Amino acid sequence: MAPLTCTKLSVITITGIVTQIIGLSVFVFGFFPVKPALPGTSGSESFFAPACDFVGNLSDTTLPSDQLQSLYQELSGIPPSFDRLILMVIDGLPAEFVLGKNEKPPKKQFKEAMPYTQSLLVSGSAIGYHAKAAPPTVTMPRLKAMVSGAIGGFLDVAFNFNTQAMMDDNLLGQFFRIGWKMVMLGDETWIKLFPRLFKRHDGVSSFYVKDTVQVDQNVSRHLRDELSKDDWNLLILHYLGLDHVGHIDGRSSVLMAPKLKEMDEVVKLIHSSIIQSQINRPGRPLLMIVSDHGMTENGNHGGSTYEETDSLVLFIGLRNHIFEYASVINQIDIAPTLALLFGVPIPKNNVGVLIREAFDSLKEDQHLRALELNAWQLLRLLHAQLSGLPCRNLPCDAFYDHQSSSSSECNHTTENMLCCLYMEAAALYTSWKSKRGFESASNKDYSRTTSAYYKFLKSASEWLSRRTTDKPVKLLALGLATLFISSVILSSLMFCWLREIYHGGKQQTSNLNDRMNGWSFDETFIVSAVLILVTCMTSSSMVEEEHYTWYFLISTFYLLLLRKTAQSLSAVGLQSSFLMQKGQSGEGFFRICCIFLLLISGRILRGWHQGGVNWTSLPDISKWLEQAGSQYVKPLQLISAVLVISIGLFALFSIETKGKYFQMVRLSFLISGLLVLLHITRYQDYAFSSTNYGATFLVQIIYAILGAVTIGTVVALPWLIPLSTSKIFPADNTIASPIFPSIQEKFPLVELRDSLYVVGWAYILCWCLLQLLLQQPINTTPVLLLLLQIVAGVHYFVRSGTHHKEWVEIAGFYYLGMAGHFSLGNSNTLATIDVAGAFIGISNHSTFLSGILMFIITYASPMFILLSLVMYISTKSMAHLVIPEKANAGDLLMMLLGFPCLVPLVLNSILLTAYTVVLLLMQNHLFVWSVFSPKYLYVCATTVCTLIGVFIVAATGFYTYFVLAMRKEKACSS
Amino acid sequence: MKEELAKSSQSTISSFQVFLIHVCCGLALAVGFWVARNVYSINLIFDPTTTLRLIWAVEFPVVILLFSYFRQKPEKCSYLKAIARGLLGLPVGVLLNVLGALALGAPAGLQYFERTASWSLLMSSLTFVPTACVYGSCWTDWHRIFACTKPKGPLDFMLCLPAHGAVIGAWFGAWPMPLDWERPWQDWPICVSYGAMAGYVAGMVGSLGLALMHTGGKQLKAE
């Protein structure tokens, strides 16, 4: 194989990166389909055909509730069949328990446990359905689906995990608008979803899963009281006990039958009170018993198996029907059915279809009108998702020729098919309306019209819901394959190169160190760490507690470094080290001190935040400090900030080169450091500093100075740094080498080293100051500790020379960055993202800017590591890297930048690909929504972070080198 | 010739002796468990501190008495001196093990101090004390066995492999700790102790095997 050149290496790397980006975007696009949702809520415009631009809907919002109610009634033309609704939610009850499965009756024990409900079913006064719930079969998304009729996409669920209140158009909001009074007893999820909507509520927490009795007693204790009152229109009862029974023992628990019996008692109580009240009171109440999801044999839920998605819908109070067996509907069908039964507009993003039997008691024209309203609503939604829907230009009066749309056209594209089905139904409806007055045979027309409507509704609903739940398998496979190819490209490139350096060029390397050829313990560890990480990703609790893995790996790595240092301490070295201050033993001691610094600071960082999910309540340093009060936090923060700034400035001052330009760089960093300190002392005390004009202005000044200085340094330094004559600094031992002068003649090594050092520290200092400004006060000390770790690590690796291979060192840094990521309080749940910090220094709301700030805060540590690689490059000795005789610029650059760019890319791409596979495998896992999908978002963001960081490193290296080489050439020729 | 000279300077040990020592150490662990379970009716899960100390109290005397017998340069160093070296080595080993465990993330709170200390006592007598008895404070030997892991001869195997086995076993034993299985044995240092002891036993088996191979190889050569 031909030896790698710089151009080849960079071309292949860029190919790998581009493949990765393409693969990732294809996968993300396939996995997280973005569903256009209609904003706002349905009003009176929903009673008109969609094509007619209805202008009067603004007046809806201003109308008082009772007028709105009568307006809706007048417009819809359907008198409400019921005036009160009792919605009884039994959490986790599979419909199989009540209705049986596959046209067979339920198990005997369950049937006997619910005698009253079964008798209602047999007598026909109750109608039961198997309601198919969409995954994720978890309570909150299911409740949302029931009241809005919409199926949330993957991203909706991921991003709405923390934002609790339901903002979309939903039934409860519609009821509230027409002035309904609502009462809620049971699971407090309802209160979180709909704060301020309930007149009275008594929430119970679903937190204590072990409790199966008290949760339900807390609901039932108000029941008699509430049933006797008549000041409410909607009563929601949400019983959690059955779900808890399932979680404890599964479907066949001994507690299941008593629990069902208890539920049956509640049904009996409610139903008898309804029957009694009907004698005393006008109006008809409807009792509806639903379950939000089913459960597996073990009692778990969340996935998409039949057992989990088989939920129950039971109407009690409709006209009597006797069915042999229960039919299957979708859970989302509840929303439009209830909306039209109670005379409110169907929620805007509803995908459900009216339940046929619920409208049987209506007159024919009312039933058709209800179907028409449902069809219009779905058509609006179709318009939003399919811009090219041909039936857009419908005449407003809906009088068109029956003959114009023949059924033969109904089988081309989806658009045409849906549109044609709608036209057919609408045409049939129109002709039915025109014939109704004088033809007696309209019964046949009526059934034709309803079946046409249902055909359209069913296919539209199916198509719409498939858009949100179905994953395009081809797209996913393509994305995954592309990701895989990219990680193969990158890792095989690195492997080839490693072989070339350490084995192909044996003549050069063997004289450096014999150990270079062996496969040593720390290298094995670095490689096996990747395998361990990949293995850990497959377990949901290891994903939740990922920080433990990183901490454990990084501290093991430090201990291995310690062992390696001990190896190099020869017996003589140890004995004489107490006497000698210089020489190898002194170096060894310095390295041991570095490792101890790494170990100690790493341990403190680990104890700073108790992250993850399960052990967050355990004590940690940050909680301890916050309890101790701000009189301890503040000084600690100030000391840390001062130390960070002084370490950075000291490093900048430690370079010997003098010149006005250097002084300016130092001065401006000093100024911005002082400004940051000023901000910390003056403004961070106020909880809402973002509203303070002075604070915002100060922060903006700091942003400006930092940005200007850093970019200025990077751009201008290579031009301004004085070119050295060929003399070498005698005190410098990192470059001291016999072959050095010949290289220095050809390449501007000293200048390159110096400018990379200054630029690297400028990056580090700029990043640290940003973090001091943006992070929470409690995180200031971790920033200091991270800086210490980087400094100690770089010094350790510099002093140990060629003991470690470069890729091991960089991989170690990468691991350090990931461990630091968690020690700043981050975790794999979206809840730990610091949103408050994202508004510091932003005067007007901008999602883009606060997004960038949020990224800076969250990815502080990995980015920090990548930026500090510039400084790390400058400290490595460069002389031995190139072969003096045939060296060219490409080789030098490749040796300089190759590993610092390639190693993070390879590690990240392996982890990304592995996690993508895990996500695909886990897409039906119980925790795919709560654990795996947020983690995937983090993995994607880490990829972005790595790409940006590597780009900065590579760009800085290339730019600095080429500017210096050009200047050198000019200086030589002149 | 040189090799043999080097060997003769080391106190020799036959594979039967290795077997005997390993069986005794292993038995001591088992006896420790048995006593804890049947005499005091405690176990590692419900009372880790006492159980660990009990196991240590059985294991430590066995280890120190057995290994002191194979001390290096027996003509210069009496049996009692070797025992004293082992006794001195114990606190040093405890300190190193505590520091190592803390660095790897053992809980640092005071309420865990007793557990950490008891665990370190046991770990020290599994890893540190045998070498202290045999080699004393000779840096070259320590360097060879622990830093470079280049043991030569059955005696070195006997010191090196079980010690490394115990440490690596403890390292692997820590992995279930963060999982949310809510099992009592996930507490510090229960599963770590189990891992350490399993690793120790595995190390003993390995060392025995190597010792057998070593002598077998030598016999073959002699033939």
Residue B108 touches chain A, beta carbons under 8 Å: yes
The predicted structure's pLDDT at residue A733 = 44
The predicted structure's pLDDT at residue A56 = 45
pLDDT surpassing 50 at residue A405: no
Residue B171 touches chain A, beta carbons under 8 Å: yes
Where does a domain end: A292, A308, A337? A337
User: Number of A:B CB contacts under 8 A?
Assistant: 58
Cβ atoms of B49 and B118 within 8 Å: the answer is yes
pLDDT digits (tens, 9 = 90+) for A46-91: 787 776 554 444 455 667 888 888 888 888 888 887 888 999 999 9
Where does a domain end: A316, A337, A358? A337
Residue B177 touches chain A, beta carbons under 8 Å: yes
pLDDT surpassing 90 at residue A598: yes
The predicted structure's pLDDT at residue A839 = 75
The predicted structure's pLDDT at residue A517 = 46
Is A347 contained in some domain?
no
Token output for A628: 């101790």
Cβ atoms of A428 and A406 within 8 Å: the answer is no
Contacts 24+ apart (CB under 8 A), A731-734: A734/A798, A734/A875, A734/A876, A734/A877
The predicted structure's pLDDT at residue A159 = 55
Token output for B179: 């999982």
When pLDDT is cut at 50, 70 and 90, the band that residue B8 belongs to is very low
Cβ atoms of A824 and A621 within 8 Å: the answer is no
Structure-model confidence comparison of residues B151 and A658, the more confident one: B151
Structure-model confidence comparison of residues A629 and A600, the more confident one: A600
SS3 call for A293:
coil
**Across the interface, do A614 and B178 touch by the CB < 8 Å criterion?**
yes
Token pair 């034993």 in the structure block, residue:
B173
Our CA-based measurement puts residue A737 at a distance from the nearest CA of chain B, in whole angstroms, of: 29
Q: Over chain B, what is the mean pLDDT? A: 85
The predicted structure's pLDDT at residue A742 = 55
Token output for A57: 């809907």
pLDDT digits (tens, 9 = 90+) for A809-847: 999 999 999 999 999 988 887 777 777 777 777 777 677
Q: Predicted ipTM?
A: 0.92
End-to-end CA distance of chain B: 17
The set of residues, in sequence order, having a beta carbon less than 8 Å from that of A644 and lying 6+ positions away, is: A768, A769, A772, A780, A783, A784, A787
Q: What is the DSSP string of A99-135?
A: H-STTSPPPHHHHHH-HHHHHHHHHTSEEEEEEEPPS
Closest-approach residue (CA) in chain B for A556: B104
The span from the CA of A384 to the CA of A127, in Å, is 35
When pLDDT is cut at 50, 70 and 90, the band that residue A576 belongs to is very low
Q: Over chain A, what is the mean pLDDT? A: 81
**Across the interface, do A552 and B102 touch by the CB < 8 Å criterion?**
no
Closest-approach residue (CA) in chain A for B178: A545
The predicted structure's pLDDT at residue A48 = 79
When pLDDT is cut at 50, 70 and 90, the band that residue A317 belongs to is confident
Is A345 contained in some domain?
no
Q: Which of B100, B102, B104 sits opposite A552 (nearest CB)?
A: B104
pLDDT surpassing 80 at residue A372: yes
B-chain CB neighbours of A569 within 8 Å are: 143, 147
Residue B137 touches chain A, beta carbons under 8 Å: no
Is A548 contained in some domain?
yes
Mutation target among B96, B116, B139 for the A interface, most CBs of A within 10 A: B139
**Across the interface, do A541 and B180 touch by the CB < 8 Å criterion?**
yes
Of the ranges A436-445, A518-527, A537-546, B10-19, the best mean pLDDT one: A537-546
Our CA-based measurement puts residue A555 at a distance from the nearest CA of chain B, in whole angstroms, of: 6
pLDDT surpassing 80 at residue A351: yes
Structure-model confidence comparison of residues A149 and A440, the more confident one: A149
Query: Would you tell me how many other CB atoms lie within 10 Å of the CB of residue B69?
Result: 17
Residue among A752, A788, A956, A936 at smallest CA distance from A864:
A788
pLDDT digits (tens, 9 = 90+) for A702-718: 999 999 999 998 998 88
Residue range(s) defining the domain that contains residue A795: 509-973
When pLDDT is cut at 50, 70 and 90, the band that residue A15 belongs to is very high
B-chain CB neighbours of A539 within 8 Å are: 179
Residue A548 touches chain B, beta carbons under 8 Å: yes
Residue A395 touches chain B, beta carbons under 8 Å: no
A-chain CB neighbours of B143 within 8 Å are: 566-567, 569-571
Is A642 contained in some domain?
yes
Closest-approach residue (CA) in chain B for A595: B103
End-to-end CA distance of chain A: 41
Closest-approach residue (CA) in chain B for A597: B103
Closest-approach residue (CA) in chain A for B179: A541
Is A48 contained in some domain?
no
B-chain CB neighbours of A829 within 8 Å are: none
Residues in A 574-593 with any Cβ partner in B closer than 8 A: 574-575
State mean pLDDT over B4-22.
67
Structure-model confidence comparison of residues A303 and A347, the more confident one: A347
Eight-state DSSP code of residue B70: T
**Across the interface, do A539 and B179 touch by the CB < 8 Å criterion?**
yes
State mean pLDDT over B38-62.
90
Our CA-based measurement puts residue B104 at a distance from the nearest CA of chain A, in whole angstroms, of: 6
State mean pLDDT over A784-803.
87
Is A459 contained in some domain?
no
Q: Which of B109, B143, B179 sits opposite A571 (nearest CB)?
A: B143
Residue B174 touches chain A, beta carbons under 8 Å: yes
CATH number at residue A260: 3.40.720.10
> How many structural domains is chain A composed of?
2
Residue among A257, A245, A261, A259 at smallest CA distance from A298:
A245
Q: What percent of chain A has pLDDT over 90?
A: 27
What values do phi and psi take at A721, rounded to 5?
-65, 135
Residue B180 touches chain A, beta carbons under 8 Å: yes
The predicted structure's pLDDT at residue A265 = 93
Token output for A457: 């509704």
Our CA-based measurement puts residue A921 at a distance from the nearest CA of chain B, in whole angstroms, of: 21
Residue B104 touches chain A, beta carbons under 8 Å: yes
Alpha-carbon dihedral B51, B56, B59, B63, rounded to 10 degrees: 170
Q: What is the 3-state secondary structure (H, E, C) of A423-449?
A: HHHHHHHHHHHHHHCCCCCHHHHHHHH
Structure-model confidence comparison of residues A366 and A661, the more confident one: A366
Structure-model confidence comparison of residues A683 and A794, the more confident one: A794
pLDDT digits (tens, 9 = 90+) for A521-558: 888 899 999 999 999 888 888 888 899 999 999 999 99
Beta bridge partners of A87: A236, A288
The span from the CA of A352 to the CA of A331, in Å, is 8
B-chain CB neighbours of A545 within 8 Å are: 178-180
Residue among A968, A694, A927 at smallest CA distance from A828:
A927
Q: Which of A542, A599, A615 sits opposite B103 (nearest CB)?
A: A599
Mutation target among B168, B175, B183, B192 for the A interface, most CBs of A within 10 A: B175
pLDDT digits (tens, 9 = 90+) for A719-778: 888 776 544 444 444 444 455 555 556 667 777 888 888 899 999 999 999 999 888 888
Q: What percent of chain B has pLDDT over 90?
A: 43
pLDDT surpassing 80 at residue A691: no
Eight-state DSSP code of residue A690: G
Q: A880-893 burial, b for 16+ CB within 10 Å, e for fewer?
A: bbbebeebeeebbb
pTM comes to 0.76
pLDDT surpassing 50 at residue A507: no
Q: What share of residues in chain A are helix, strand, coil (percent, to 5)? A: 65, 5, 30
**Across the interface, do A607 and B108 touch by the CB < 8 Å criterion?**
yes
pLDDT digits (tens, 9 = 90+) for A101-119: 887 888 888 888 999 999 9
pLDDT surpassing 50 at residue A246: yes
Is A481 contained in some domain?
no
**Across the interface, do A571 and B177 touch by the CB < 8 Å criterion?**
no
**Across the interface, do B178 and A548 touch by the CB < 8 Å criterion?**
yes
The predicted structure's pLDDT at residue A687 = 47
- How far from chain centre, in Å, is Cα A912? 15
H-run or E-run covering A255: none
Residue B87 touches chain A, beta carbons under 8 Å: no
Alpha-carbon dihedral A75, A78, A83, A84, rounded to 10 degrees: -100
Our CA-based measurement puts residue B208 at a distance from the nearest CA of chain A, in whole angstroms, of: 24
B-chain CB neighbours of A599 within 8 Å are: 103
State mean pLDDT over B159-171.
93
Where does a domain end: A307, A337, A367? A337
When pLDDT is cut at 50, 70 and 90, the band that residue B137 belongs to is confident
The predicted structure's pLDDT at residue A658 = 65
CA distances from A96 to A110, A358, A698, B9 (A): 9, 21, 64, 81
State mean pLDDT over B89-98.
93
Closest-approach residue (CA) in chain A for B108: A607
Q: Which of B102, B143, B179 sits opposite A542 (nearest CB)?
A: B179
**Across the interface, do B105 and A548 touch by the CB < 8 Å criterion?**
yes
Residue among A191, A196, A260, A267 at smallest CA distance from A227:
A267
Structure-model confidence comparison of residues B77 and A534, the more confident one: A534
| Pairing mode, strands A182-187 and A126-132 | unpaired
**Across the interface, do B105 and A575 touch by the CB < 8 Å criterion?**
no
pLDDT surpassing 80 at residue A469: no
Closest-approach residue (CA) in chain A for B144: A567
State mean pLDDT over A638-667.
84
Structure-model confidence comparison of residues A3 and B26, the more confident one: B26
pLDDT surpassing 80 at residue A203: yes
Is A26 contained in some domain?
no
The predicted structure's pLDDT at residue A577 = 45
Of the listed ranges A160-174, A454-468, A538-552, the one predicted with least confidence: A160-174
Q: What is the DSSP string of B152-207?
A: -HHHHHHHHHHHHHHHHHHHHHTTTTTSS---GGGSTTHHHHHHHHHHHHHHHHHH
The predicted structure's pLDDT at residue A946 = 95
